[in-house]
Structure 1
Amino acid sequence: MIIRDATLDDAAEACAVLRASIIQLCTADHHDDPDILSRWLANKTPENVAAWADAKGRSLLVAVEDGAIVAVGGVKDSGEITVNYVAPRARFRGVSAALLAALELRAAERGAQQATLLSTWTAHHFYLARGYQVTGPPQSKFGTTASYPMAKALAGAGP
Structure 2
Amino acid sequence: MEAPICIYPARPADAGIISRIIERSIRVGCVLDHRNDPQLVSLWVLRQSADLISARLADPHVYLNIALLHDKPIGVGMATANGDITFCHVQPEWFRRGAGRALIADLEGWLRIRGVPHASLASTRAGAAFYSRLGYRESAQPVTHEGLARVLMHKPLPLSD
In the alignment, what sits opposite 2:95? 91
Instruction: Calculate the TM-score normalised by the size of structure 1.
Output: 0.94
The amino acid across from 1:63 in the alignment is A
Instruction: Please show how residues 50-129 of structure 1 align to structure 2 within 5 Å.
Output: 50-129=54-133
Deviation track 1:5-52 (CA, whole Å, cap 9, x = no partner) reads 100111111110000000000000000001211211111111111121
The amino acid across from 1:114 in the alignment is H
The amino acid across from 2:31 in the alignment is T
Q: Secondary structure at the match of 2:153?
A: strand
In the alignment, what sits opposite 1:151? 154
Shift of 1:142: 2.8
Which of 5, 10, 14 lines up with 2:9 in the alignment?
5
Q: Secondary structure at the match of 2:144?
A: coil
In the alignment, what sits opposite 2:52? 48
In the alignment, what sits opposite 1:18? 22
- Percent of aligned positions with the same letter in both sequences? 29
Deviation track 1:83-112 (CA, whole Å, cap 9, x = no partner) reads 111011211101101111111111111111
Contact 2:115 2:159 in 1 (8 A): no
Please give the alpha-carbon distance, in whole angstroms, between the structure 2 residues aligned to 1:136 and 1:45: 29
Which of 134, 142, 158 lines up with 1:130 in the alignment?
134
* Unmatched 5+ stretches in structure 2: none
The amino acid across from 2:97 in the alignment is R
Which 4+ runs in 1 deviate beyond 6 A?
none
Instruction: Calculate the TM-score normalised by the size of structure 2.
Output: 0.93
Contact 2:85 2:107 in 1 (8 A): yes
The amino acid across from 1:56 in the alignment is P
Shift of 1:75: 0.4
* Unmatched 5+ stretches in structure 1: none
The amino acid across from 2:13 in the alignment is D
Q: Secondary structure at the match of 1:78?
A: coil
CA RMSD of aligned residues (A): 1.1
Q: Secondary structure at the match of 1:123?
A: helix
